[in-house]
């Protein structure tokens, strides 16, 4: 049996959707992207949604719109995909890393607050693996100090925090449609915001800084006139092929999320007897979207002192699963251990111990909406035969 780490869910609806831009002749950012934006905004409960080419470019636009540049600091967790820090570096600002809560893999709100200084212009809490970050204390702190909150919600579609969808408490929330996410457009991203001014600036920034979009000009008078360019922008426009796929995926989203939660609950039940693996936790008041089912390998209490030895044992488990045809992955990496950031800022592995432990000992099990009971029981029975 071969079981992938995940797989997108497509059927004839996506095939038919891709044909529509071919037949209409509108293949760049156009009516299908606009429809996708409307559907996405309605689903998460936001006033505006702005599509981009990826979550990375969504984050970059959010950081640029916040006026962040050299001499500014942006606080974010060390345990996250490197793009979260990279978009800050791209503006010349300094990413200030903080540690995480090992129970949730999300940022420790108290450490994030403590890291804020007069040089801090924004904070980027990450809602990792489908679980919202602890937003209320972060948003309250940022509001009191007049700094932006930009949520990295790449994994957080379907995640809720005390009745609010991830991305809707902050100034901006940035989502991903990479193939490993709940829904996909191949590559693609989205920024959500309730602020009309922010939304308008983002739409301009993603389109070279144009004062009006091609779609708007096409349907207006004197469509031959070029737009005005008063700001420096980027080419971060989603194509209408991707928008059409996104529209088709949105119709499936409630079912996809429900299936992921059912499979995750089954994992929780089936893995309860394995004392060397910690299943993901969902705190009270949170709803998990389960972009991934990320466990912690912990046959003993992990520390900085024993993490290297435990890492070797975790890798042996992953090797055994791979040999049985079961794909696994680490959760993500610890940014402070990566070559660029270690070299530039002089980080040591032990500087953010929980992030180090999470990077070295996290274990992602296969999860997709179309995963069968047989496949899931095969994964668990294989784990039960392993002596870590």
Instruction: Point out the residues that are catalytic.
Output: 181
Q: How far is CA 17 from CA 24, 189, 214, 308, 376, in A?
A: 11, 19, 21, 48, 31
Residue 345: exposure state from Cβ atoms within 10 A (0-12, 13-18, ≥19): middle
- Looking up tokens 């959500």, which residue turns up? 192
Alpha helices in the chain (DSSP H): 12-24, 31-44, 55-65, 83-89, 109-115, 135-145, 196-205, 214-218, 240-270, 307-323, 339-345, 353-361, 373-385
Residue 63: exposure state from Cβ atoms within 10 A (0-12, 13-18, ≥19): buried
> Cβ distance 149 to 176 under 8 Å?
no
Counting every residue written for the chain, the total comes to: 388
Q: How far is CA 19 from CA 5, 32, 49, 53, 303, in A?
A: 29, 12, 24, 20, 54
The DSSP code sequence of 33-58 is: HHHHHHHHHHHHT-SEEEEES-HHHH
The DSSP code sequence of 261-317 is: HHHHHHHHHHTTT-TTEEPP---TTEE---SSEEEEE-SS---TTTHHHHHHHHHHH
Residue 352: exposure state from Cβ atoms within 10 A (0-12, 13-18, ≥19): buried
CA 69 from centre of chain = 23
C-alpha dihedral, 384 to 7 to 269 to 290, nearest 10° = 130
> Cβ distance 103 to 281 under 8 Å?
yes
């Amino acid at each position: 049996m071969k079981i992938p780490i995940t797989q997108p869910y497509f059927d004839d609806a996506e095939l038919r959707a891709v044909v529509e831009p071919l037949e209409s002749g509108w293949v760049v950012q156009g009516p299908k992207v606009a429809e996708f934006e409307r559907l996405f905004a309605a689903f998460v409960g936001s006033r505006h949604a702005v599509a981009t080419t990826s979550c990375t470019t969504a984050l970059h636009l959010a950081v640029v719109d916040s006026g962040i540049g050299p001499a500014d600091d942006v606080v974010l967790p060390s345990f996250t995909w490197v793009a979260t820090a990279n978009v800050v570096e791209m503006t010349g600002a300094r990413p200030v890393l903080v540690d995480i809560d090992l129970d949730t893999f999300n940022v420790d709100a108290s450490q994030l607050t403590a890291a804020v200084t007069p040089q801090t212009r924004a904070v980027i809490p990450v809602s990792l693996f489908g679980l919202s970050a602890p937003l209320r204390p972060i948003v309250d702190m940022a509001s009191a100090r007049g700094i932006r909150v930009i949520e990295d919600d790449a994994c957080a579609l379907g995640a809720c925090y005390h009745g609010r969808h991830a991305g809707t408490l902050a100034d901006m929330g940035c989502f991903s449609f990479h193939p490993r996410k709940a829904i996909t457009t191949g590559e693609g991203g989205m920024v959500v915001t309730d602020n009309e001014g922010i939304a308008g600036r983002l739409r301009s920034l993603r389109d070279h800084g144009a004062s009006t979009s091609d779609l708007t000009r096409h349907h207006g008078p004197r469509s031959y006139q070029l737009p005005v360019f008063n700001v420096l922008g980027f080419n971060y426009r989603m194509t209408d092929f991707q928008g059409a796929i996104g529209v088709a995926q949105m119709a499936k989203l409630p079912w996809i999320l429900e299936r992921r939660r059912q499979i995750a609950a089954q994992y929780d039940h089936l893995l309860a007897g394995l004392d060397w693996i910690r299943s993901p936790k969902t705190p009270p008041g949170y709803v998990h979207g389960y972009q991934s089912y990320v466990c912690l390998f912990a046959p003993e209490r992990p520390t900085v002192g024993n993490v290297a030895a435990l890492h070797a044992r975790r890798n042996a488990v992953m090797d055994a699963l791979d040999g049985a045809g079961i794909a696994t992955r680490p959760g993500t990496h610890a940014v402070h251990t990566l070559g660029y950031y270690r070299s530039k800022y002089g980080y040591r592995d032990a500087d953010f111990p929980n992030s180090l432990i999470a990077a070295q000992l996290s274990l992602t099990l296969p999860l997709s909406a179309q995963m069968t009971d047989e496949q899931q029981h095969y994964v668990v029975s294989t784990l039960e035969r392993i002596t870590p």
